Structure 1
Amino acid sequence: MHKSSVLSIGRSAAALAAFAALAACSPGTGAAPAETAAARPEAFGAAGYRGIAPGMAKEAAVATGKLAAAPVSALDGCTVLSWQGGPAPDPAKLAAETEAQRKADDLYARSDAADHEAKQSAGKSAAELAKAAAKDAEAAQLAADSAMASAEVAGKREERDKAFAAAGGASFGKNGLHELGAPPGAKTAEGIGVGSSLADLHKAYDARGLKPGTAGRFELPIAEKPGWRFVFTPADNGTVGGVAISDGALKCR
């Protein structure tokens, strides 16, 4: 073989090696797995969502910039914040909630005190018996008024819960985040989100312990977060209308 042929073959091999090295480092090959991982959507689940995690303090959660700072509800002592871009606070609604809560609390305290006083009433004279009867009547009326006020609060609580299921958000109590609702478009690791069929919900979670909960919802215990659970709110059209994780507390005070 001529010396010139050997040199030509050597140069060709070197060029091929250089091309292979460039191809391995190009964005279209070696970077593909990283791009795929980055494009994978975040799952809504036990670890929370968008940096908002179970037990996180409200101030720390707001500091992430993912939540609005002003509450959309403060019923039952729970401060409910929307996701950024979600429902804005309604001052009239907030005022109505505050007044309903104040009225219910006041009537409950007065009813309890009147009932206690009525039970202490004793006597055999006509005047004493009349006084005891009056106290019984007062206690009964206050109990009825208290029940009506509690029913009004329950109605506003149902309105709050429906809005929370539809738009998601974060609810905080004295111990930090106690409920986190998924925004529209978010899905669990198993692909369940708002709009999923109830059939798919059962297929994904029945074997893991999905059970009927309160108010027609479905609940699933979260093994890695003792005391916490998934809460799936069904819609009227046979789909999932809301997804949340919750510590199960009905009130925050």
Structure 2
Amino acid sequence: MAKDAALTGGKLASAPTSNLDGCTDFSYTGGPAPDPARMKAEADVEAKAKDLNKKADELEADPEPKPGASAEGSAKAAEKSAKDARLFADAALATADLAGKREERDKAFVAAGGASFGKDGLRELAAPSDAKTAEGIGAGSSLAELKTAYDAKGMKAGSNGRFQVPVDGKPDWIYEFTVNGEKVGSVSMINPKSKCS
């Protein structure tokens, strides 16, 4: 589904709640309003991580200069090495900050429900808290109920720690369930092949 078609249906808010990583997330009508300060913080962290990682990648592509035999040449090589190490450390910290922003965005998105669009169209639907799958599983269902409904259908724990199972009749789509303790916290339908940018 294309973003423009989804927005004309009236079920989604007209303004996005996040643009992180090139995906555009919308809450359902009446859901959380966009938070300009949070969205700016996401954009700033993303831009910083991209810039520092690009610089670090350029350093890795350049061959390391050989220190000269003189003390001055050795000192310059050591200074460059320290500067490069600082850049790699800053890039790693910026990447960690970006991962934190992604985690915050993902938690807010599945808690509120909505639709996320990537470069190929619809990427994820996060169910409203009162929605249930055809098998009767939704937020608040027990872990035992989730396993009873989906273990025989190939449910497994994903790399992100969430439970995942293919959606019947929808090739390329999976259900993804977050679990808090012994209860389902949220339900999403995701197309893992659809990328943000």
**Which bin holds the TM-score, normalised by the shorter protein?**
over 0.9
Asked if 1:242 corresponds to 2:186, the answer is: yes
Structure 1 residues 249 and 145, CA, compared in 2 at 3 Å: closer, same or farther? farther
TM-aligned CA deviation for residue 235 of structure 1: 1.9
Moved over 4 A (4+): none
State the match for 2:138 in structure 1.
193
Larger proportion of strand: 2
SS at 1:86's partner residue?
Answer: coil
Q: Which residue, 102, 108, 112 being the options, matches 1:157?
A: 102
**TM-score (normalised: structure 2):** 0.92
**TM-score (normalised: structure 1):** 0.73
1:200-227, CA deviations, whole angstroms, 9 ceiling, x for partnerless residues? 0000000000001133210012353333
TM-aligned CA deviation for residue 199 of structure 1: 0.7
Is the Cα contact below 8 Å between 1:165 and 1:244 reproduced in 2? Answer: yes
The structure whose Rg is larger is: 1
State the match for 2:36 in structure 1.
91
TM-aligned CA deviation for residue 250 of structure 1: 8.8
Q: Which amino acid aligns with 1:242?
A: S
**Identity over aligned residues, as a percent?**
55
Distance in 2 (CA, whole Å) between partners of 1:249 and 1:143 is 30
Q: Which amino acid aligns with 1:239?
A: K
TM-aligned CA deviation for residue 132 of structure 1: 3.0
Q: Which amino acid aligns with 1:233?
A: T
Asked if 1:57 corresponds to 2:2, the answer is: yes
Is the Cα contact below 8 Å between 2:115 and 2:122 reproduced in 1? Answer: yes
1:156-189, CA deviations, whole angstroms, 9 ceiling, x for partnerless residues? 1111111112111111111111111101111110
Q: Which residue, 122, 125, 141 being the options, matches 2:69?
A: 125
SS at 2:134's partner residue?
Answer: coil
Q: Which runs of 5+ in 1 are unaligned?
A: 1-55
Q: Which runs of 5+ in 2 are unaligned?
A: none
Larger proportion of helix: 1
